């Protein structure tokens, strides 16, 4: 089901109940770009620490926009041994909410845009009809703005955008506006005397409107309703009406409801993420680190500086994550699955020893056909990801005695895969452990080598030719990690390099230390 | 006429001849955003110097993408006293050209995107079918790449992407590839002996292909044609064919033509700008400084650091510019025209004392109807801009004796408006003078004031209350320019401030000096 700004509100209950009833959820995001840093490979060095990788992704990927979010909910029907799914494809865009709302800037990367364009991605849906959103801080700011306006107008409802700095109490009207304000007060006095129900003032400036509100609230705390209206030409003017107590309360309440509605509209798509979060359901994704980072960054808060804080926030937002790419790269799947890219994985998981699960779209939801690929629409990718998870989970059941054909999302068998997010292209750390400390592989066979930028990989092979097989992980054009095959060669290499002038070698431990020093200074 | 990647090549001649035959050209651009800096007003301080303004625009506006370019050509038909126009609406997108081409990143500003979305802007046309482009340096790099490959393949044509660092002469084949290369040479020898015309090698790595090219070119400079082919699975392999001299030359030439074509395709939309530039025709725009800056930045070269260099480049690219917003804000129009925004201007210029010009779309070009506005499609805006120019130019003719109804784009009467680009919101400098030094208004009644960030405009009014009318131009939240109404008050203000602790005053001259110092240190 496609969800845009146009049908978002009417779809919310459908979305909420789909999440509520689900056994697990699958998600996927599409972004306006991947990396604004140097080359992708320089960004994903094979010997990054988890901290380094997190910082690189935070620095070079978060200015892109997550503009399509796929959610597929999976509910198991015991009786028919099948999953019933509801798939949602959300288009997302930070449409400025009002004059004081933030004007978000985001980066587009032409290769990513071109890639999506070739898949038939509909950019018009994003930019014309994308659902807006607010993160938590923006939401509370807006809430405070509303509350402040309310307390300021002191019962009298106001539609206008008043400077939040305006204060209560007797008003100090600047000399040049005294005349203007006095005239307004005269008009109000006249209104109170006569039988008219209301009086319209001439259009005036925002500052003058502010003075009017302050003066009238202070002088006539009850019995008046002051409201900013707009002419057809978008000029703002003030309408003052006489109201009795009951009418005043009614208007007040109406206004409060309208504001709550406006607030909800502005929070927009974030409400879906809040619902996913509150459900605490298992959330499945494929190679999902960037999806998780973007989701938190866009709909909760700017990503924290420290990896450990990021893990904490992530556990609050998504208490239970599972990454199908990591699962497929782990025992017992690792040996059987030779390509873990989503499309290939899905194909392999239909063949023995795996089995395609029985899955059906819920009534009223369009069904996806895995035979005619629609990859890279987020909703479809989320769907496929869910299928992969089910096939792999069920495969685990075949090892039980007696074997079980269906393994639920709550089974102990899949717990070993929880909260481990696949780390791309790190040689010796397969995943980021969101709910605990990360693996700390020994890297004492690794050297950090710096050299003139004219050097090529072949120069490095030459330099270390005495040590047999080496593995080079480029950092930038004047440095690389070189992994030797044996740790005891490290000392020999270090000794040989002592008098070298063109290049320099450090052990991995020395390298980490000097980085630490760099940071502190 | 809408021009995308799909019909660009077939439309080029139409575009070229429209430019060639035109009396003048009107242009307009649409961007993915305007400013990524602080508030727009902080970016456009009323007392910016032209240098400052240029630097701010360069810094905060050039990372957006010019993604729609409107060109409207105007040709006067003496006999029927009418203009015949051809209007083009180009969609532009930096689609990566090949694997080694730059992966452009650009910023989108949600308010600008939302604005265009509301006008029905078609983002899919931009991102799916936008015409690519190269700036001058990228063009020469690509040309060199082609030339290098050609000289490298030494006559034998090659489709492949060879590292540019490979050199001619006897090849040093790394030990581990010697065996592989020897086998290839054996196959070639066999081919030369037998009656087969060609032999296909197994798919191999890019490095191996490079070694094959180098070896064969060196060993068999003539008589062989070596070419990289692709299997259906996108694996690259090499095809070696025997060729006689004539066939070799024919292929060589074919290849050169193909390369020229590829180069032209990559240069893409820049060719239109080159044609406009070469034509040296008068180019009219409305409030066109950003259009000119973006055009040069995207299709010629990164903008120079210095304003004076920018002016020089601009005069090379657009030897004759005219800004209708500046024209409308200058005598004799200034007094008659009270709103110079494009839509309003166009309306006013249909009424007396002005006259809507007689204009017709050329055959085969869709006609625009100014009654049903289509503002903010670049092609339409360019058209309207041209109309405004004609009406204003013709109005100048009414002052001649005898009065003239038609004033051509070459008339002396419009020369005073050449190369002066409207400067938005600068109090005392109406335009940037592209073909000469800028105006240097006296600013000795201006004070530079710094203060605590709690201050409001009213505090400044208070502070200078003794000096009558002042004008405040905010710089940021702790500084502003304050213009006094009389220059002789400056000294008094300076004296009063000597012992002040919360704020500080400098004369404008002192301010300029200290900025100069800041720059140098
Ligand atoms: N000096 C030098 N630097 C290299 C070489 N190969 C790669 N690099 C550097 O290492 C970075 C990562 O390289 P690589 O892993 O090959 O990825 P790529 O740049 O995306 O192709 C590059 O951006 C370069 O800065 C080389 O042969 N010589
Ligand atoms: N301290 C202070 N700074 C202000 C005030 N008004 C404007 N500024 C600063 O001056 C900049 C430009 O202000 P203004 O011209 O009003 O434009 P705006 O911010 O786009 O509404 C703002 O971004 C603020 O940093 C004020 O009353 N007090």
* DSSP one-letter string for B397-420: HTTSSS--S---TT-GGGGGGBTE
**Alpha-carbon torsion (A6, A9, A11, A16), positive or negative:** positive
For chain B, what's the residue count? 521
Q: pLDDT-based confidence at B152, cuts 50/70/90?
A: low
What CA–CA distance (Å, rounded) separates A3 from A262?
19
**Rounded alpha-carbon distances, angstroms, from residue B340 to A180, B24, B119:** 31, 21, 21
Label each residue of A444-469 as H, E or C. Answer: CCEEEEECCCCCCHHHHHHHCHHHCC
**Residue A19 and residue A108 in contact, taking contact as beta carbons nearer than 8 Å:** no
Site to substitute for ligand 1 among A56, A477, A479, A481, most atoms within 8 A of C-beta: A477
Q: What is the pLDDT of residue B158?
A: 41
Ranking A57-66, A446-455, B172-181 by mean pLDDT, the lowest is B172-181
Ligand 1 atom nearest the C-alpha of A475 is 10
Ligand 1: centre distance to CA A456 (Å): 8
pTM: 0.85
Pairing label, strands B359-361, B82-91: parallel
Interchain contact, A93 vs B113, CB within 8 Å: yes
Interchain contact, A117 vs B105, CB within 8 Å: no
pLDDT in tens, A218-256: 888 778 888 888 887 778 899 998 888 888 788 888 888
Which position has the higher pLDDT, A177 or B159? Answer: A177
A39 lines ligand 1 (CB under 6 A): yes
A42 lines ligand 1 (CB under 6 A): yes
For A218, how many CA atoms within 13 A lie in the half-sphere containing its CB?
Answer: 16
Q: pLDDT-based confidence at B126, cuts 50/70/90?
A: very high
A456 lines ligand 1 (CB under 6 A): yes
What CA–CA distance (Å, rounded) separates B59 from B75?
37
Q: Does A119 touch chain B (CB under 8 A)?
A: no
User: Which ligand has its closest atom nearest to the C-alpha of A474?
Assistant: 1
The two structure tokens encoding residue B52: 């400052």
Pairing label, strands B224-230, B282-285: unpaired
Ranking B176-190, B208-222, B298-312, B369-383 by mean pLDDT, the lowest is B369-383
Q: Does B111 touch chain A (CB under 8 A)?
A: yes
**Residue B72 and residue B307 in contact, taking contact as beta carbons nearer than 8 Å:** no
Interchain contact, A110 vs B117, CB within 8 Å: no
Query: What is the DSSP track for B12-28?
Result: HHHHHHHHHH-SEEEEE
Site to substitute for ligand 2 among B40, B111, B474, most atoms within 8 A of C-beta: B474
Cβ-in-10-Å burial (0-12, 13-18, 19+) of A232 comes to exposed
Alpha helices of B300-405 — where are they, by DSSP H?
A: 307-317, 324-328, 342-348, 378-397
**Rounded alpha-carbon distances, angstroms, from residue A65 to A33, A126, A258:** 7, 11, 30
A461 lines ligand 1 (CB under 6 A): no
What CA–CA distance (Å, rounded) separates A41 from A43?
5
Whether omega before A402 lies within 30 degrees of 0, making that bond cis, reads yes
**Residue B342 and residue B27 in contact, taking contact as beta carbons nearer than 8 Å:** no
Pairing label, strands B504-507, B446-450: antiparallel
Chosen from B101, B127, B172 to mutate, greatest number of chain A CBs within 10 A: B127
pLDDT in tens, A259-296: 899 999 999 999 999 999 999 999 999 999 999 999 99
Ranking A35-39, A56-60, A305-309, B278-282 by mean pLDDT, the lowest is A35-39
Query: How does the average pLDDT of chain A come out, rounded?
Result: 90
Percent of chain B with pLDDT over 70: 94
Ligand 1: centre distance to CA B142 (Å): 20
Nearest protein Cα to ligand 1, atom 27: A456
Interchain contact, B111 vs A93, CB within 8 Å: no
Q: pLDDT-based confidence at B228, cuts 50/70/90?
A: confident
Using alpha carbons, select from A74, A108, A69 the residue that is nearest to residue A89: A69
What CA–CA distance (Å, rounded) separates B420 from B311?
11
Pairing label, strands A2-3, B282-285: unpaired
What CA–CA distance (Å, rounded) separates A350 from A199?
73
The two structure tokens encoding residue B161: 């992407």
Ligand 1: centre distance to CA A478 (Å): 9
Ligand 1: centre distance to CA A454 (Å): 11
Using alpha carbons, select from B375, B364, B348 the residue that is nearest to residue B87: B364
**Alpha-carbon torsion (A415, A420, A421, A423), positive or negative:** negative
Q: Does A96 touch chain B (CB under 8 A)?
A: yes
Q: Does A459 touch chain B (CB under 8 A)?
A: no
**Residue B18 and residue B25 in contact, taking contact as beta carbons nearer than 8 Å:** no
Q: What is the pLDDT of residue B451?
A: 94
Ligand 2 atom nearest the C-alpha of B453 is 1
């Amino acid at each position: 089901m496609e969800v845009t700004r146009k049908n978002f509100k009417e779809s919310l209950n459908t979305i909420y109940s789909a999440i509520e009833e689900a056994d697990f959820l699958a998600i996927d995001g599409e972004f306006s770009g991947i990396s604004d840093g140097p080359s992708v490979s320089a960004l994903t060095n094979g010997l990054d620490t988890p901290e380094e990788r997190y910082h690189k992704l935070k620095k070079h990927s978060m200015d892109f926009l997550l503009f399509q979010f796929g959610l597929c909910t999976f509910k198991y029907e015991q009786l028919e041994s099948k999953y019933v799914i509801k798939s949602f494809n959300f288009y997302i865009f930070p449409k400025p909410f009002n004059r004081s709302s933030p004007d978000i800037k985001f980066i587009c990367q032409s290769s990513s845009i071109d890639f999506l364009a070739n898949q038939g991605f509909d950019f018009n849906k994003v930019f014309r009809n994308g659902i807006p959103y607010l993160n938590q801080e923006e939401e509370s700011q807006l809430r405070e703005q509303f509350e402040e306006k309310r307390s300021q107008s002191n019962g009298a409802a106001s539609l206008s955008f008043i400077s939040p700095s305006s204060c209560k109490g007797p008003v100090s009207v600047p000399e040049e506006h005294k005349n203007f304000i006095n005239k307004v007060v005269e008009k109000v006095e006249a209104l109170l005397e006569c039988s008219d129900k209301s009086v319209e003032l001439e259009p005036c400036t925002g500052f003058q409107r502010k003075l009017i509100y302050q003066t009238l609230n202070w002088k006539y705390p009850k019995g008046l309703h002051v409201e900013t209206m707009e002419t057809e030409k978008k000029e703002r003017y003030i309408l003052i009406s006489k109201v009795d107590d009951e009418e005043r309360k009614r208007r007040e309440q109406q206004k409060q409801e309208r504001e709550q509605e406006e607030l909800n509209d502005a929070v927009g798509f974030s409400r879906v993420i809040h619902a996913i979060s509150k459900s605490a359901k298992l959330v499945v994704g494929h190679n999902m680190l960037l999806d998780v980072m973007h989701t938190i960054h866009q709909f909760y808060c700017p990503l924290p500086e420290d990896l450990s804080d990021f893990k904490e926030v992530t556990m609050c937002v998504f208490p239970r994550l599972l990454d199908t790419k990591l699962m497929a790269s782990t025992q017992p799947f690792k040996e059987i699955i030779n390509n873990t890219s989503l499309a290939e994985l899905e194909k392999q998981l239909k063949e023995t020893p795996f089995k395609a699960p029985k899955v059906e779209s819920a009534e009223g939801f369009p069904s996806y056909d895995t035979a005619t690929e629609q990859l890279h629409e987020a909703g479809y990718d989320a769907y496929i990801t869910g299928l992969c998870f089910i096939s792999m989970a069920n495969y685990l059941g075949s090892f039980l005695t007696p074997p079980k054909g269906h393994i639920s999302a709550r089974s102990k068998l899949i717990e070993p895969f929880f909260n481990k997010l696949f780390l791309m292209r790190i040689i010796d750390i397969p995943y980021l452990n969101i709910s605990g400390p990360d693996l700390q592989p020994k890297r004492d066979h690794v050297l950090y080598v710096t050299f003139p930028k004219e050097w090529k990989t072949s120069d490095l092979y030459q330099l270390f030719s005495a040590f047999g097989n080496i593995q080079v992980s480029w950092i930038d054009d004047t440095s690389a990690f070189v992994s030797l095959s044996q740790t005891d060669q490290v000392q020999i290499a270090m000794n040989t390099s002592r008098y070298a002038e063109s290049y320099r070698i450090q052990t991995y431990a020395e390298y980490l230390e000097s980085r630490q020093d760099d940071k502190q200074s």
